[in-house]
Structure 1
């Protein structure tokens, strides 16, 4: 069973998102630790780790250099994140144009680079010290946490969290802090990995489960659980949509060879029309690999 001092589990239970008495083991370990396992709430479909004490207050600040992304440096790391950065920036541009924008957990700052020209101002939260130092050197206003940013008295029109929310040990507190950072009518965008990812659920691909479950991803959300968090934090008009990051060739390679990178290894199986149709099919079945929630203060 999950650890008795599992604060995140207690939060999920208190919000009515999961039922502790019905939790069932789902996968015996995560990819980087044999002493951390994955559990599932059958009623909600939410997946969570059996413990969160591996992520202490100094875990992210103490990460070594830029090794979290690419030890070769920022430029090389941005090559790897380019496709996601472009997709996210494209979806944000109209929302942030002429606005004050903050990216929570900005990492290498790839999205900031792309939207800064259209924003009134940009700021960031990044707990990893070396990444934050590097971004400050590029002229960005960077803070180690949302609490430190709130202490400056700044207010924003748009806040984003791209694959950050699932790392938080106290997600409700963080959302409430972000809510307070926003002006009335401000928007929040939260992107997370999806608990109902087709490779996890429909295809039950065991090699993918062993690859994707990670000691830093404390919980994988469903549409309902993600929406519930935003609503309890005070956001309204919450809409959650499915996004498919990885194409059909990626899934075919996982199912046939048990490994990642099919979209690179099999370029002959890449087709824009086919990939759009496959993504639409997964969206209609609620089996995408990613969820994006948007809410308003």
Structure 2
């Protein structure tokens, strides 16, 4: 049984996700996939609106802990993400200058740095009954991978491809996808590459553009949101992926613990070329 956590408390963060290389790659992706400024701004607005709706409907209530700030008469508690803008519009974003001349990326259609922390409990399956614990989901597999950085690169794509190949699962079988929103054009390029509707099962409660990017805590933050949503909607598989740089990333696949018991696989078969579509539980 392990407590896994991450925290972001840097007060002077890098201004750009992935630095200048990340920004240049985002502009290359915009040109390569034909993503214009309007599409990037629309995606950013959608992220804010989805996050605002999720807050109004209480979707984040079970996964957020209030944080006390200050002391004495000035003490107060932060109970929700402060960067979400329900009133944001493409008209508002259109007034922002691109970060590069004639570019698509602005401070409005990329992620913003946030302070934050996240944590989860990872328990071996054979200890659940003994400890009286009910899992939210089982880890079905994970992968990390990179690609040749010459030309435009989709940081999370190689890891996702490796993960799907390893587990034998396909994108069509995934109920929810959570991809960190470093740049709107990056996520839109992935959606184009995967032939997905960016307003469908991808980041259904918004993500980094609206909720912020607390670097050291982002991976667990999006995983937590995804698993709670998977439970609410009755889905079976959820996939999260993060670009750790413009040319490499990491991805993980989870199976809801609320689904009917699947047919068991031989121990470790999933990690040795099994192509079955029924992943079952993760046997570490």
Q: Which has the higher contact order (CA 8 A, sep 6+)?
A: 2
- TM-score, length basis structure 1: 0.30
- TM-score, length basis structure 2: 0.31
